[in-house]
Homo-oligomer: A and B are copies of this chain.
C-alpha cells in the first residue's frame, strides 16, 4: 500500500485529512526522529523505530495490541510490555501521542516543537488528525490560571466526522 490520500481542494486541512505524499511523510519523519535521537542521546532502537514506522504508515490510532501483532509479524517480541515500553519511550519524547478516547496511539505529525496537541477523530473511518492549535493551549492555560490551577498536560480530542466521510455520506 502506497502514497496519497483522497484529493481535496487546497484548504487549511490537517495533514491526515489532506492530500499529501504519504511515503515521504513516513520516511522524512523517521529520518527526523533518527536525527533528533542521536542529537539528544536517545536510542531509537529497532523495536522503537518499528513501532514509530507502524504508526506513521497510517494517520490512524492503533491499539497497543494491534501494534503488538504487527511487531510479532516483524519478528519482535510479542508480549504486551514490548509494545507498551516502546510506546512509552516514543510518547515521552514526543514522537507519538496517546488518544485517550480510544486507548490507542498515533504518530505525531510535528515532533520537535513542544506542543499541546489537539486531535480530531473520525468515528466513521477512524482517521485521526492532529491540529496545529497554538491558540488552544493558551486559551486553556488562561482559563486554568484564573482558577489557580497549574496545567502540566492537556488532553484535547474532538470526535466526529472527517471531511471525506462527510462528503461520502452526503452523496
A residues whose Cβ falls under 8 Å from a Cβ of B: 8, 11-14, 17, 100-101, 118, 120, 122-123, 129, 131, 133, 135-136, 139-140, 143-144, 146-163, 166
**What would 4 more interface pairs be, CB under 8 Å, given A12-B147, A136-B140, A148-B166?**
A100-B100, A131-B144, A135-B143, A154-B156
A163 to chain B, nearest CB (A): 3
Cβ–Cβ contact A148 & B13, under 8 A: yes
CB neighbours (8 Å) of A13 from chain B are 147-148
Q: Choose one: B144, B146, B158; the contact of A154 (CB below 8 Å).
A: B158
CB neighbours (8 Å) of A161 from chain B are 149-150, 152
A10 to chain B, nearest CB (A): 12
| CB-nearest residue of chain B to A169 | B150
